[in-house]
Amino acid sequence: MSLFQRLWQRIRNPRGYIGRDLEGNRYFEVPNPNDAWGRPKRIVKYREGFDMWTYIAGERRLPVQWTSWLTHTRIYPPSLEELAADLERQKRVQLRAAMIEARDQEEMAQITASTSMAMASMHANAPTSVTGYHPSPTSQNGGK
């Protein structure tokens, strides 16, 4: 392909910058002549110093809104305001989960303490000698 043809193709079909996420990853949409439905190809360019393996094998994840846009599940790309609101929602959920976890641990500690106290009181009241104990014939036959 000649230089003129490449320039003309870039003018006719530019790489379309769509947006970015809060971490600095950029998202693009380009025409895809190979797609049977005529859908454009959607691409993510990871922020400087990161690559796809950071997100596939690492602890980082792309925002679910952008992931759904990349896979054509979502028609319109998310806005920065939507991403920020979702990040705040995630922080609230994590805080509430931590509060519930702390409450559950406290309840478990109380249950453990009351169980151990009950066991100690049962052992304190138990007879130390069983000499002279003779079961009655009715207790062996189930009361018959």
**What is the C-alpha separation between 96 and 89, in angstroms, rounded?**
11
**What is the C-alpha separation between 21 and 60, in angstroms, rounded?**
13
pLDDT tens series, the chain, 144 aa: 577 766 776 666 556 889 999 999 999 998 888 877 888 889 999 888 877 777 777 778 889 999 999 999 999 999 999 999 999 999 999 999 999 999 999 999 888 888 887 777 777 766 655 555 556 666 555 555
> For every residue of the chain, which 3-state class applies, written as one string?
CCHHHHHHHHHHCCCEEEEECCCCCEEEEECCCCCCCCCCEEEEECCCCCCHHHHHCCCCCCCHHHHHHHCCCCCCCCCHHHHHHHHHHHHHHHHHHHHHHHHHHHHHHHHHHHHHHHHHHHHHHCCCCCCCCCCCHHHHCCCC
**What does the block give as tokens for 8?**
């003309």
Whether this model's pTM surpasses 0.85: no
Domain boundaries, the chain: 10-78, 79-115
